[in-house]
Structure 1
Amino acid sequence: MGKLLYSVTMSLDGFIAGPDGDMSWLTEHLGPNPVVDDLIGDIGALLVGNRTYGGDDPHRGDPEKEGKAFGGGWDGPQFVLTHRPPSRPVPGVTFAGDLATAVAESRAAAGDKYVNVLGADVARQCVEAGELDEVLTIVVGVLLGDGVRLFDRPGGANVRLERIRVDELPHATNLWFRVG
């Protein structure tokens, strides 16, 4: 079964989205990243939180990229963790009401590839359930000052991470960890 990987781009002050989930800040930081380009081919399924699924899109206004995973660079099965699924089916998207079902179904769909976790809350839930295997954080040089934190777990215990690799790019730094 595939590993669960939380991949995300983060501001230097620890935010992955601006206030109210605003993703517009991200657009100018989506420069070339060979690690991400390689990773996209290794993703077999997405496990997405409901707020992320229905939230802001950094490609808003671009008809060729808006609403598409990785701006259209990836296509495959998506699993959305939600207690409020839409009344009509969405092609290629499965809505799951509990984490265990969402993880099991996304792992099965991914085969031996990664399940890419998108969304801070679903990533936190995966950590708490002992399901998250790796974290790839792409740190970019901007300070947002407010918004959605990379990982917010008030009162939570430390989560040990083992560094797998670090890549310094002109516009970002990739930090890849194994959850220990």
Structure 2
Amino acid sequence: MAKLLYSATMSLDGFITGPGGDMSWMTKLPDTGPHEVADGIWQQVGSLLIGANTYGGDDPNAGTEAEGAFGGLWSGPQFVLTHNPPAAPVPGYTFVTDLRTGVDAALAAAGDRYANVLGADVAAQCLAAGLLDEILVFIAPVLLGDGTPLFRHPGGTFAGLEEISSTPGPTPTIWYRVRK
């Protein structure tokens, strides 16, 4: 059975994008060599649930072989959560207008793999609705000072987390299960 996973690379000070949604900082990270979790996570993902800002946002690898999800390695069903779907179909994407429909579709399409959330706003909505199962964070060795935080929910949202695994190194990784 599929699980809903939010995975993101975050600066040490807690941001997944720089100011204005800038993702160019991702191309400036030092090459830290092989990373067991980062190098293999894309193979565990069966579908994507993407926020509108992420869909229309900055891909730091645009125009290169690494363009797209997981450095261009991943392909599969992609669901974009938006209040304003395009009038004409966009190849490779299904647009949904409510959270539950998007989550259900992404989970069904994922099969026995993860439905991976891309976008802090959608992840926060999933968390607040009690739909998020796991969170995987790669901590990049940079400070951004401003941008989109890993989580933001006006008024706050308390979520208890239980560690599944952690990986030390130049880009530490922490994988949590959301307590429900």
Q: Same fold by TM (over 0.5)?
A: yes
Shift of 1:79: 0.4
Q: Is 2:66 aligned against 1:65?
A: yes
Q: CA deviation at 1:30?
A: 7.4
Structure 1 residues 88 and 65, CA, compared in 2 at 3 Å: closer, same or farther? farther
Identity %, equivalent residues = 58
1:49 equivalent in structure 2: 51
State the TM-score, normalizing by the size of structure 2.
0.94
Q: Unaligned 5+ residue runs, structure 2? A: none
Asked whether the 8 Å contact 2:77–2:109 carries over to 1, the reply is yes
- Which residue number in structure 2 is paired with residue 133 of structure 1? 133
Q: Which residue matches 1:38?
A: 40
Asked if structure 1 preserves the Cα contact closer than 8 Å seen for 2:128 and 2:157, the reply is no
Q: Which one is further off, 94-103 or 32-41?
A: 32-41
Distance 1:56 1:168, change over 3 A: same
- Deviation of 1:38 after TM superposition, in Å, equals 1.9
Pairwise CA distance, 1:26: 1.0
User: Which is further off, 158-167 or 53-62?
Assistant: 53-62
| 5+ long unaligned stretches in structure 1 | none
Structure 1 residue ranges (4+ consecutive) displaced by more than 6 angstroms after TM superposition: none
- Counterpart CA distance in 2 for 1:110 and 1:93 is 14
- Taking only aligned residues, the RMSD between alpha carbons, in angstroms, comes to 1.3
TM-score (norm 1): 0.94
Aligned length: 177
**Residue 13 (structure 1) aligned with residue 13 (structure 2):** yes
CA distance in 2, matches of 1:30, 1:84: 37
Counterpart in the other structure of 2:112: 112
- Determine the C-alpha separation between the residues in 2 that align with 1:163 and 1:30: 27
